[in-house]
Structure 1
Amino acid sequence: MRFILNVLVVAAALWVAVQLVSGVSITTPTGTAKYWGTLLVVALIFGLINAVIKPIVRTVGCAFYAVTLGLFALVVNAGLMLLTSWVSEQLDVPFSVTGFWPAFWGALVVSIVSWVLSLVLPD
């Protein structure tokens, strides 16, 4: 149940990022079942990438995190958002991020919205 709730939270956060950040987009008609299904699939991909790759990057880039007082995490999250876009493209999922800055702002929005939703929702 917790896993499903996490995927729904990330999907909602991705929806907010798609709405707010130009350069982060889903290329299916808004409001259709395919649109919402795409959000769920992208949330799953993003979750898997974060679960597998983020710990490796944290371990390898530990010095960068320390030197930048954690701000390097923003760059890592942008990279993970770009990787999510690339994986989505390979799987023919209609989700795209057009460059580093849209990925940076999109990842920041996803992080903030996910954090807020996790505060509101029960454990």
Structure 2
Amino acid sequence: MLRFIVQFVVTCFGLWLASRIVSGVTFLSDGSLLAAALLLGIANAVVRPILTIVTFPLTIITFGLFLLVVNAAMIGLVASLLGGFVVNGLWAGIGAAIVTGLVSWIAGSFIGEAPRRVQID
């Protein structure tokens, strides 16, 4: 549960930073920022794995760079579902995906991986 909360806070910070750095990414309120972070977490857990599998050949051909488009699509999906979150175009979505990805990567390097539980039968 704690890990989920930390990931939520990191996503909130990444989206907030993206709205400050990337032109074309805006939030109309703090509540829409929180809702966007929650919806992005759900979209990344449910929809992103499916898109990653479907677009695997393109990901191989582009040496993994197409995953930026998949991440931008997840951010665009959340923006289309949420009225208070605006992403103007593909490049703004890619910029937001880069910023949120970098924030998550940096936070992950400080937090580390979840401890693995050993189950003895």
TM range (shorter): 0.7 to 0.9
State, as a whole percentage, how many aligned pairs show the same letter. 38
Report the TM-score, using the length of structure 1 for normalisation: 0.85
Match of 1:84 in 2: 78
The equivalent of 2:4 in structure 1 is 3
1:1-123 maps to which residues of 2 (within 5 A)?
A: 1-28=2-29, 35=30, 37-89=31-83, 94-121=84-111, 123=114
Q: Distance in 2 between matches of 1:2 and 1:27?
A: 28
Structure 2 unmatched ranges of 5 or more: 115-121
SS in 2 for 1:13: helix
1:53-88 residue CA offsets vs partner (Å, 9 max, x unmatched): 111011111111111110110111111111110011
Aligned-partner Cα distance in 1 for 2:97–2:6: 19
- The structure having more radius of gyration, on CA atoms, is 2
Q: Once the two structures are superposed, what CA deviation does each residue of 1:13-69 show, in whole Å capped at 9, x if it has no partner?
A: 1111011011000123xxxxxx1x332211110011111111101111111111111
Could you say what secondary structure the match of 1:25 adopts?
A: strand
Runs of 4 or more above 4 Å deviation: none
Q: Which amino acid aligns with 2:102?
A: I
Measure, in 2, the Cα distance between the counterparts of 1:38 and 1:60.
30
Unaligned runs of 5+ in 1: 29-34
TM-score (norm 2): 0.87
Q: CA RMSD in A?
A: 1.2
